[in-house]
Amino acid sequence: MRFCFLPITLLVLGLSLAQAQLQSDPATDPNAVQLPVDKQTVVVTGTWEPVPLDEADRAVTVINPERTELFRTWADLLQLDPSLDLRQRGTSTVQGDLSIRGSGFGQTLVLVNGLRFNDVQTGHHNLNLPLPLESLDRVEVLRGSGSTLYGSDAVGGAVNFITTPPSATEFRLGANVGNFGVNTQTASVAYAGEKFSQRLSGVRDFSSGFISNRDYRVLSGASETNVKTALGWTNLLVAASDRPFGAQNFYGNYNSWERTKTWFASVRQDLGERMETAVGYRRNTDHFILRRDRPSVYQNRHETEAWQAAVRRRDELKQNIALFSGVEGYRETIDSSNLGRHARNRGAAYVNFDVRALQRFSFAVGAREEVYGTGGSTRGQFSPTFAGGVWLAPGLKLRANASRAFRLPSYTDLYYADPANRGNPNLRPESAWSYEGGLQWQRGRVQADVAFFHRREHDVIDYVRYSPTDVWQATNFQRLNFTGVETSVGVQLPNRHRVQVAYAGLRGAQDSLGGTLSKYVFNYPTHNAVVSWDGLLPGNMFARTRLGVTQRYARDAYAVWDTAVSRQFGYVRARLSFANITDTAYEEIPLVAMPGRTVVAGLEFVWPKR
């Protein structure tokens, strides 16, 4: 495969950078600049308990910005990982579709602190995240099937937005202005105590639009409380957002308008050292108007609610041998002017056996049985997984896994109808087997990783038609296969500089559908590369830059270059950012133009000084 040459090149680059790093390693070079010792990165996504990143037997990426002022929204974080395909219809997280390894946007599971956030109406609303950037600690990305851990939708993988108790008491208040009428205000206050912590954060992001009918207003706010009791830690998270926006060409050649509102609440409670419980609630409303200038022509109103509850347990059988088990329950409802009223109940039980031996081998086998009921009938989905790893040498680890995933049809897939699209109440759930092998290497301040994967999907849900004049019809087709490679090289350099080069290549193969046209399946990136840097510049300025190059299936490649710089002046932090510096004309979704060069400047008051 042609895309195999770039991973080899990147690994060679990584070895070269490693050699350069070793030549200036503080342990061997007395003249080298001393760097602070990094804290060990611990992941909670794709694992049954928190483990060091290098101990994970699954492909997990951690996006953990040290300086959030260099990013406008959490969408900027997602663009650092080329395995993630963020197909935006608008900037500032107005609306976008997220996929991993060529999966559809409904086949990627979005989590908040490990709880499901996907919308049962449509995957278009999976990123209606009501969390301001200031409330996030990091984003963890599980690349590859995750249904054994998380159930439906994690076919391509899962993205976990993680909050954490504040480490210090602080107050921040900021404002930004830019071209296209950009006007943003942010606020955050946090208190950190030994047994109690609280964070409140909010953002208002407004734009008059870079073209007609692409205006938006994003309002988001979140409150997170942590209390330590005799049982353990209690975490309460409450968040809400309101997004009205012009949707020019989002769903066809119409001057549409849309407004979505999202509420999310969760309670997580430790029950001693071996058990925890969690309860989550998500509500989303969607008001869609086909023609903004004539609302009476066609409009829809949808309201979805989702409840979830989970109990998880860990038992130490012997030293380095653990058994993980749990039960979960879900209820998902919709009340829609177009789709009608429907409800779906689900329950699941899972178990995982984990072995780690001689600080060299690891092996895990797990299984999940999930049952769901609708219309008086009950069905089940079985999702096993196998994963293992072996340290071939200090800093060099080989890992492999195989797992099955599934996705239940959304309510839009089943019941939606308009003049151009028609759902299908007889749709079957999608399923897929995923296989992966990877090699990770770390020495000093250099990390390199390469992974090869293959996914075989069955009963794939997509909208198809036989000619451009036909109605798009939701249907199952039997086989869709993806084969790909992912590789990355990261280097921590002196003077707080970090460089990362990453690439993802993908090739898909679909059974013939007799000349039908597919609406969603073949908009994946065949090549996606990202080069990023951040560090400390002269004059005590922090900066970052990112260059992304993307080529989608049967389309021309395009490059987008972003950069940002900030500096602290006492209690005030100044920030200047540039998006799409080269003013590239591009579309992440066909016929939906993205903004040209955008310049935003801002000030933020920070207490105490950092």
Write the DSSP assignment of 277-337 as a string of letters.
Answer: EEEEEEEEEEEEES-TT-TTS-EEEEEEEEEEEEEEEEEEEETTEEEEEEEEEEEEEEEET
State the pLDDT confidence band at 2, using cuts at 50, 70 and 90. very low
Residues 58 and 387: beta-carbon distance below 8 Å: yes
Q: Exposure of 353 by Cβ count < 10 A (0-12 exposed, 13-18 middle, 19+ buried)?
A: middle
DSSP-assigned states of every residue in 3-63? GGHHHHHHHHHHHHHHHHHHHT-TTT-TTSPP-PPPPPPEE-SSSSS-EEGGG-SSEEEEE
- The yes-or-no verdict on residue 392 having pLDDT over 70 is yes
Between residues 34 and 92, the one the model is more confident about: 92
Q: Measured between alpha carbons, how far is 452 from 438 in angstroms, rounded to an integer?
A: 6
Identify the pLDDT of residue 347: 96
pLDDT reading at 92 higher than 90? no
Backbone angles phi, psi at 169, to 5 degrees: -80, 130
Asked if the model's pLDDT at residue 275 lies above 70, the reply is yes
What pLDDT, on a 0 to 100 scale, did the predictor assign at position 412? 93
12-19 long-range contacts (CB < 8 A, ≥24 apart) are 13/489, 13/501, 14/441, 14/446, 14/448, 14/489, 14/491, 15/448, 17/446, 17/489, 17/491, 17/499, 18/443, 18/444, 18/446, 18/448, 18/491
Q: Residue 11: what pLDDT?
A: 40
Low-confidence winner among 52-56, 139-143, 528-532 (lowest mean pLDDT): 52-56
Quick one: average pLDDT of 328-345?
A: 95
Return the structure tokens found at 209.
């639009």
What is residue 534's predicted lDDT score, i.e. its pLDDT?
94
pLDDT at 12 exceeding the cut of 50 = no
pLDDT: which is higher, 366 or 376: 366
Residues 248-254 have a mean pLDDT of 88
Q: Which domains does the chain have, with CATH numbers?
A: 2-607 (2.40.170.20)
Position 89 scores a pLDDT of 80
pLDDT at 484 over 80: yes
Summarize pLDDT for 515-544 with one digit per residue, the tens.
666 777 778 899 999 999 999 999 889 999
pLDDT(31) > 50: no
Calculate mean pLDDT across residues 162-169: 92
> How many angstroms separate the Cα of 65 from the Cα of each of 74, 165, 445?
10, 16, 17
283, amino acid identity:
R
Whether the pLDDT of residue 18 is over 80: the answer is no
pLDDT category at 88 given cuts 50, 70, 90 is: confident
C-alpha–C-alpha distance, residues 282 and 306, integer Å: 5
Q: Is the dihedral of CA 129, 131, 134, 140 positive or negative?
A: negative
Could you tell me the maximum CA-CA distance found in the chain, to the nearest angstrom? Answer: 75
pLDDT at 398 over 60: yes
**pLDDT band at 21; cut points 50, 70, 90:** very low
Tokens matching residue 294 = 């004539």
Which DSSP category does 105 fall into? G
On the question of pLDDT at 22 being above 70, the answer is: no
Share of the chain above pLDDT 70, in %: 91
Give me the pLDDT at residue 516, please.
67
Structure confidence at residue 37 as a pLDDT band (50, 70, 90): very low
**Cβ proximity of 526 and 102 under 8 Å:** no
For range 143-169, the mean pLDDT: 94
- Position 199 scores a pLDDT of 97
pLDDT of residue 32: 35
For residues 169 and 575, what is the distance between their CA atoms, to the nearest angstrom? Answer: 22
Q: How far apart are CA 422 and CA 413, in angstroms?
A: 8
Other C-beta atoms closer than 10 Å to the C-beta of 515 total 7
Q: Which residue has the higher pLDDT, 13 or 188?
A: 188
pLDDT for 13 equals 40
pLDDT in tens, 284-318: 999 999 999 999 999 999 999 999 999 999 999 98
Phi, psi angles (nearest 5°) of residue 283: -130, 135
- Structure letter (DSSP) for residue 121: S
Residue-level pLDDT at 512: 55
Q: Which positions ≥6 away from 506 have C-beta within 8 Å?
A: 3, 101, 102, 482, 483, 484, 524, 525, 526, 527, 528
- pLDDT classification of 511: cutoffs 50, 70, 90: low
- Give the range with max mean pLDDT: 4-18, 51-65, 138-152, 466-480: 138-152
